[in-house]
Amino acid sequence: MNGPRARGAAGELYAGAGLHCRLVNALLVIGLVAAVLAACLHVLIFWMEAIAWEGPLARKTFGGTPEEARPHAFYAFNQGFYNLFLAVEALAGVALMALSSGAWHTAGSALALYGVGSMLAAALVLALKSPAHRQAALKQGAFPLIAVVFLVLGLLH
């Protein structure tokens, strides 16, 4: 038997452990990449809401003119930082998962899942509350959904 081997419960060697490890690693890598992409999207949303609220990209994304947006700048600024903090949380979790083991890896898993889970929950709330914004909710929630599914599958195996 060539390839990686692992010890079973009774200490015997069995092949196939390498394939299982590669599958788990692939699931986790897909989940981590999706979490990073979700975080990048939320950093972009932060930038539009907190920094460039009256700018052309924010106006194209959220609608309205700069004059119509101006009275809502404070709320957008606050919402932007909410999105930034979700991104930082998810990225911190990804970094801990990718670069550590043991308790730190576990903490990273919790952070990453909490971050992308919160992003996914926000997208679901938007979709349920406003049928007109379901397309936006789909864009906002796609990467977090992929991240949650693949991280959970990878962590459970």
Each residue of 123-147: pLDDT tens digit?
999 999 999 999 999 999 999 999 9
Tens digits of residue pLDDT in 54-75? 999 999 999 999 999 999 999 9
Domain annotation covers residue 2: no
Domain annotation covers residue 27: no
Domain annotation covers residue 49: yes
C-alpha–C-alpha distance, residues 41 and 44, integer Å: 5
Structure tokens at 136: 């936006």
SS3 5: strand
Tens digits of residue pLDDT in 16-61? 556 667 777 999 999 999 999 999 999 999 999 999 999 999 999 9
Q: To 5 degrees, how large is the angle CA 77–CA 117–CA 125?
A: 65
Pick from 42, 52, 104, 101: which is nearest to 73 by CA?
Answer: 52
Residue 100, domain extent: 44-156
Q: What is the pTM of this model?
A: 0.85
Domain annotation covers residue 30: no
Domain annotation covers residue 12: no
Domain annotation covers residue 34: no
pLDDT above 90: residue 149: yes
Domain annotation covers residue 68: yes
Q: Other C-beta atoms within 10 Å of 33: how many?
A: 15
The tally of domains found in the chain comes to 1
